[in-house]
Amino acid sequence: MGTQPAATSGAKEPGSGATSDARLDRRIGWALFAAGFIALLLTEQPVGFVRDESVYFHAAESHARWFQLLLSSPSQAFTDAAIVRAFDFNHEHPALMKNLFGLSYVLLHEKLGLLRPAAAFRVPAFAFAALLLPLIYALTRRLFGRAAAIFAAVSFFLVPRQFFNAHLSCFDVPVATMWTLVVYAFFRAQTEKRWWLYTGLAFGLAIATKHNAFFLPVVLAPFSLVRGWRASKGQPKARELFLWINGVYLFAGVLFLAMAAALGVQRVQAGYGVLNPQVAIILGAGVAAGALTWQLGKENEGAFRAMAPLVAMAALGPVIFYLHWPYLWHEPVNRTAWYLAFHLTHNHYAWFYLGELLRGPPFPLSYVVVKTALTVPTSLFVPMALGFGWVCWRTWKRKVTLLEVLVLVNAVASIAIISQPQVPHFGGVKHWFPSMPFLAVLAGGALARGAWGLAQWLAPRWKGATERRVFVALAVACALPALIATARIYEFGTSAYSELAGGLPGAASLGMQRQFWANNLTGVLPWINANARPGERLYLHENHGGQVRDYQRNGMLRSDLVIVGSPAEADLVAYQYHQEFREHEFMTWQAFGTTRPVYGLYLDETPQVVIYRRQR
Amino acid sequence: MSEETADTPEGRWPLVEGAVALAVALWALGFQVWLPSTHVAESDYQAVAQVLAKEALPGDVVLLHPWWTERARIYVPEGLPVVGHLFSDSDDLVQHPRIWVLDQPRLPRNDEGGFEQKFLPSRTKTGDARDFGNLRLTLFTNGRYRPLAFSARALLPQLSVYLEGPDGSRQSCPWTGALHRCPNGKVVAAEWHEVHFQPRPCLRFDPPGGATKLVVELPPVPAADEVVLHTGYTWERAAYKDGVTGSEVGLEVNGRVAPLSVPAGVEALWTVQQPGAPEGAKVRAWVQAQNPHARELCLEVYGYRRAP
C-alpha cells in the first residue's frame, strides 16, 4: 500500500512503459467500444419506437433514397427540387445522423437482409453511443487512472435512461458523444500538434448532429482566451496577434450588427449570395483569423495551441454544417435561419413535476438538478456529486488542473443551459445528456479516491484490503444496483427513477412524469396481438401513424388490426397514462361505458399503458 | 494550472468519499432487491375482489392509496366505483356512506401519515384492516356523507335545456333520446370529463357565446338542505390564457342566484352552493361566455339532505 492512490495517479511514465501503457489504453478503449456496441445490439429488440424515432426513420429512409439517386442520376440529385423532396421532411434537425440511419437501413436491411428494419436504422446510433465509452475512458484515465476510467465509462450505460436512449435512432446520445469528442480534442489540442484541426472537424460534425453543440464555443472560448492571454504574456508580438484574432471576430460581429440595424434583419438574411458584403465579412474574418493564428504559431506555440482550436471551430464548423446537409445547398441562409428559429421558439409541452403540471415558463430553477437526482441511480449519482464537490474544492484551493476544470465546466454546462427557466423542459433528462459523460468522469474519480481512502483505513485491520481489491469491491457495489435497475426497466427507459425517488412507485407518489414518448406501448403489444379480434378497431393513444407503421413492419403489431383516431371509433383502446392526458382515459370510459380496464402495463405497480375493451 | 493531474488526496476526504459511496451503494442494492417484493400478486387482487363482491353495499366506494394504484380497477367488481386521482386523498366522497380503502402500505413513499391526515377526519374505521399480500383493505364509515336528494345528471331526460338571450327569449334544446341538442349545434349530454385531473361524471355544458346563456332547468325537485354546483373547464382548456374569455355561471333556486365566475387560465374545480331548496323548487343553472372558443364546461348540480 503506497501513500498515494495508484488509481488516481495520472502522471505519464517515460520510455517504453508509456508506449505499452498507451497500447493497453487503446485496447481497453476498443474493448469498451465493442462491448458497448454489442450490448446495445443484443438488447435492441424490446425497445419500442419513440414518437420522434419513427419520424427520423421516415426522414432517414428519404435521405437514403436521395443518396441512391445521387449514384444513379447525379445531375438530378443536385437539383433543389430533388433535394427538397428528400430532405424537406423533418428539416428541423440537421442531416448527419439521419443520413447514417438511412444508409445503414439500406445496407443492413434492404441489401444484406442482416437486421430487421428498426435495428438496421439504429446501428449508427449504437456506434455513436458506444464511442462515448472510450471517450469517457480516455478523459478519466488521464485524471484518475485506469480502473476509475473503466468504471466511469461503464457507468454511463448503467443509467437506465441513458442506456435506453442509447438504443434510439435519435440525436440526444450522439450529440453527447460529439460534445465529449470536441472537448477531448480541444484538451489534446492544448499540448499536441494537429489536434486543433481535429477539434474543428469534430465541432463541425457535432453541430451536424444536434443544435446543443452550438453552445460548445461558448463553453470552450473562455479557456482559449485565458490560456492565450497567459501564454502571450511578456511577448508583445504574440500578444498583439492574439488581440488581433479576437479583434477580427469582434469587428465582424459589429459589422453584422451594424448591417442588421441599418438594413433590417430580413434584408440582411435575404441578401446572401455568392458575392455580397455578408459573405465577404464571413470569409474575410475566417481568412484573416486563420492567417493571424498561423502567424501566432510562429511567435508563440502556447498561444497558438490555445487559440487554434477555437479558430478551427469557427472556420470549419459552418463549412461542415453546410456541406453535410444538402438541404442547405441552394438556400443556405434562409433554411439555416428557419432551423435556428425553430429551436429558439420551440413549443412547451406539459410536464408533470412534483405534483404540478408545468405547462409553460418560468420553470423551476432546480428542475434539472432534481430530475437528475431522481433518475440517475443513487449509487452513481452520489459519487458524481462527491466528485463534483472534490473538483470544486480543488478549484477553490487553486490546485485544479486544466482537464479537471474542463470536466467540471462541461459537467455543468448543459445542466445550466437547460435549467434556465425559459428553456423548454419536456423530454425527461435527454436534453442535458452532454453533461452526463463528464459527471461520469467525476464519479470515477470519487470512486478511485474513495477506494484509496477505504484501503488506507482498512489496511491496518485487514491485510487483504489492497487498494485494487477495495476499488473492485466498491465499483461492483456501486454498479450492481444500477445494473439491476437498468436490466429491469431499460426498455421502458423514460419511466426509470432512482432509489432516491423511491423507484417508479416513489416517483408516482412524488408526482413525477411517469413516462413520455409513447414507446411503453411495447409492454402491451403481445397482449393486443394475442387478444384482439380479427380486424378489430384499435386506438393507440399517443402513438402516431409512423409508430404504427414501424411496429407493423417490424412484426410487433398485427397488420389486420384497424387503427383509428379516437376512443369513440374504437373497440380496443391502449391509453398511455400521462397526467396531462387524463381526459383521453375518461373519453374512453365515456365511449365504452365502463371504467374497468381489461389489461395494462403496470411497472412496479404504476399504471403506464391501460387497455380498455368496448362492452358488447 | 497543470495540464493533467497527479492527485494526492488530502485529509480524511477520500475515506469519507469511500464510506459514503459504499453506504449508499449498499442501501441502493438493498432497495433494488427489495422493490419487487412490493408487487401485488394477481391472486391478492382477486381475493380482495371476492371480499368486495360479498360485502360491499350499494353506495359504497373504493378509495385507492396511493392514489395512482389504479391496477385495482381491473379487479374491483363492476358497479362499485373506484376513486383514485391526484386529489382523492382529500375527496369528501360525499355521496358514499361507506369507503373501502385499498392501501399498498409497503410501497416506497407511501406516506401513510399524510394520507391519514387528509382522509381520517370524520371517518370511522369499521372492523379490522385485512391484509391480502401487499394489499390492505379497510372499511370506513364516511362522516362526510350526505344523502343525495337529486342530481341534474340523473335527471337528464327530464331536464329543460334552452338558450336564453339577454332579452329573455328562449330557444329550446330538445331531448333526442340520448342528449339535448341545441339550435347552435352544441349538445348537453351526460359524459365523463377531466376537470383539474379528476374524472367527473357531469353534463357537458358549452356556453353559446356573446350574451346568450345556456340554461338547464331541473324538473320540480325533492327537498334538499343544500344545492351544490361543481364546474370547470374540461381537460387542458382551463389552462388556456390567450384567445379565450372567462365564463359566468349561475345557480338559481326559486329565483335566488348564486353567481360564480370561472376565470380563464386557472386550472381548478369550481363550486358554488345554495343553502337549500324546498320540495318542488325551481332549480336552474346557466353558463355564459363572451367568447365560446375552448369554453367547454363540465357541470354538476346536486341536492343534498343532511346526514342522518
- Cell numbers at A179, concatenated: 460534445
What CA–CA distance (Å, rounded) separates A489 from A497?
9
A–B interface: beta-carbon pairs under 8 A:
220
Q: Report pLDDT for A2.
A: 38
**Hey, is B146 helix, strand or coil?**
coil
Q: Report pLDDT for A273.
A: 59
When mean pLDDT is compared across A2-6, A490-494, A505-509, the lowest value belongs to A2-6
B187: left (phi over 0), alpha (psi -120 to 50) or beta: beta
Over residues A435-449, the mean pLDDT reads 98
What CA–CA distance (Å, rounded) separates A488 from A407?
31
What CA–CA distance (Å, rounded) separates B131 from A426?
40
Among A237, A50, A479, which residue's Cα sits nearest to residue B26?
A: A479
Find out whether A437 and A412 touch, Cβ atoms under 8 Å: no
Q: Report pLDDT for B4.
A: 53
Q: Residue A280: which pLDDT band, with cuts at 50, 70 and 90? A: confident
Question: In the beta sheet, which residues pair with residue B300?
Answer: B230
Over residues A489-500, the mean pLDDT reads 98
> Which among A9, A402, A453 has the least Cβ separation from residue B17?
A453
What CA–CA distance (Å, rounded) separates A242 from A307?
8
Interface test with B, best of A230, A353, A382, A579 (most B CBs within 10 A): A382
Is residue B211's pLDDT more than 90?
A: yes
What integer best gives the mean pLDDT of chain A?
Answer: 94
User: What are the distances in angstroms from CA B28 to CA A481, A538, A573, B72, B166?
Assistant: 6, 41, 37, 29, 66
Residues in Cβ contact with B194 at an 8 Å cutoff, skipping those fewer than 6 apart: A582, A583, A586, B200, B234, B235
> Which among A404, A484, A602 has the least Cβ separation from residue B32?
A484
> Which among B82, B111, B194 has the least Cβ separation from residue A582?
B194
Task: Tell me which chain A residues have a C-beta less than 8 angstroms from the C-beta of B111.
Answer: 509
CB-count burial class (<10 Å; 0-12, 13-18, 19+) for A243: middle
- Cell numbers at B138, concatenated: 379497510
Q: Report pLDDT for A413.
A: 98
**Hey, is A409 helix, strand or coil?**
helix
Q: Report pLDDT for A517.
A: 96
What CA–CA distance (Å, rounded) separates A287 from A300?
20
Tell me, what amino acid is at A80? D
Is residue A114's pLDDT more than 60?
A: yes
**Hey, is B287 helix, strand or coil?**
strand
Q: Residue A10: which pLDDT band, with cuts at 50, 70 and 90? A: very low
Question: In the beta sheet, which residues pair with residue A365?
Answer: none
Q: What is the pLDDT of residues B75-131, one digit of tens each?
A: 999 999 999 999 999 999 999 999 999 999 999 999 999 999 999 999 999 989 999
User: What percentage of chain B carries pLDDT values higher than 90?
Assistant: 95
Is residue B5's pLDDT more than 80?
A: no
Tell me, what amino acid is at A280? A
What CA–CA distance (Å, rounded) separates B76 from B73?
5
Q: Residue A7: which pLDDT band, with cuts at 50, 70 and 90? A: very low
Q: What is the pLDDT of residues A198-213, one digit of tens each?
A: 999 999 999 999 999 9
Q: Residue A275: which pLDDT band, with cuts at 50, 70 and 90? A: low
When mean pLDDT is compared across A417-431, B93-107, B174-188, the lowest value belongs to A417-431
Q: State the DSSP code for B131.
A: E
Q: Residue A1: which pLDDT band, with cuts at 50, 70 and 90? A: very low
Q: Residue A260: which pLDDT band, with cuts at 50, 70 and 90? A: confident
What pTM, to 2 d.p., does this model score?
0.95
N-to-C CA span, chain A: 76
Q: Report pLDDT for A11.
A: 39
Among B107, B105, B52, which residue's Cα sits nearest to residue B81?
A: B52
Q: Report pLDDT for A231.
A: 97
Q: Report pLDDT for B139.
A: 98
Length of chain A: 616
Q: Report pLDDT for A256.
A: 86
What CA–CA distance (Å, rounded) separates B66 from B111?
8
User: What percentage of chain A carries pLDDT values higher than 90?
Assistant: 88
User: What are the distances in angstroms from CA A10 to CA A13, A138, A142, A400?
Assistant: 9, 11, 5, 13
Nearest chain A alpha carbon to B105: A505
Q: Residue A332: which pLDDT band, with cuts at 50, 70 and 90? A: confident
Find out whether A500 and A374 touch, Cβ atoms under 8 Å: yes
Q: Which residue has the higher pLDDT, A132 or A13?
A: A132
Residues in Cβ contact with A203 at an 8 Å cutoff, skipping those fewer than 6 apart: A182, A213, A216, A217, A312, A313, A316, A317
Over residues A390-416, the mean pLDDT reads 96
Over residues A463-491, the mean pLDDT reads 97
Over residues B139-159, the mean pLDDT reads 98
Closest-CA distance of chain B to residue A442, Å = 12
Q: Residue A333: which pLDDT band, with cuts at 50, 70 and 90? A: confident
Is residue A462's pLDDT more than 80?
A: yes
Is residue A16's pLDDT more than 70?
A: no
User: What percentage of chain A carries pLDDT values higher than 70?
Assistant: 96
- Cell numbers at A47, concatenated: 425497445
**Hey, is B73 helix, strand or coil?**
helix
- Cell numbers at A276, concatenated: 455580397
> Which among A378, A405, A606 has the least Cβ separation from residue B28?
A378
Residues in Cβ contact with A505 at an 8 Å cutoff, skipping those fewer than 6 apart: A604, A605, A606, B35, B38, B66, B107, B108, B109
> Is B5 close to A403, i.e. CB distance below 8 A?
yes
Q: State the DSSP code for A112.
A: S
Is residue A300's pLDDT more than 60?
A: yes
Interface test with B, best of A509, A512, A580 (most B CBs within 10 A): A509
> Is A386 close to B70, i.e. CB distance below 8 A?
no
Q: What is the DSSP string of A545-598?
A: HHHHHHHHHTTSS-TTSEE-SSGGG-SEEEEE--GGGHHHHHHHHHHHT-S--S
> Is B28 close to A499, i.e. CB distance below 8 A?
yes
Closest-CA distance of chain A to residue B160, Å = 23
> Which among B1, B29, B191 has the least Cβ separation from residue A481?
B29
> Is B197 close to A582, i.e. CB distance below 8 A?
yes
Q: What is the pLDDT of residues A558-585, one digit of tens each?
A: 999 999 999 999 999 999 999 999 999 9
Tell me, what amino acid is at A151? F
Q: Kind of pairing, strands B297-304 and B226-233?
A: antiparallel
Tell me, what amino acid is at B50? Q
Nearest chain A alpha carbon to B71: A607
> Is B7 close to A605, i.e. CB distance below 8 A?
no
What CA–CA distance (Å, rounded) separates A450 from A455?
8
Find out whether B24 and A500 touch, Cβ atoms under 8 Å: no
> Is A605 close to B16, i.e. CB distance below 8 A?
no
Is residue A289's pLDDT more than 50?
A: yes
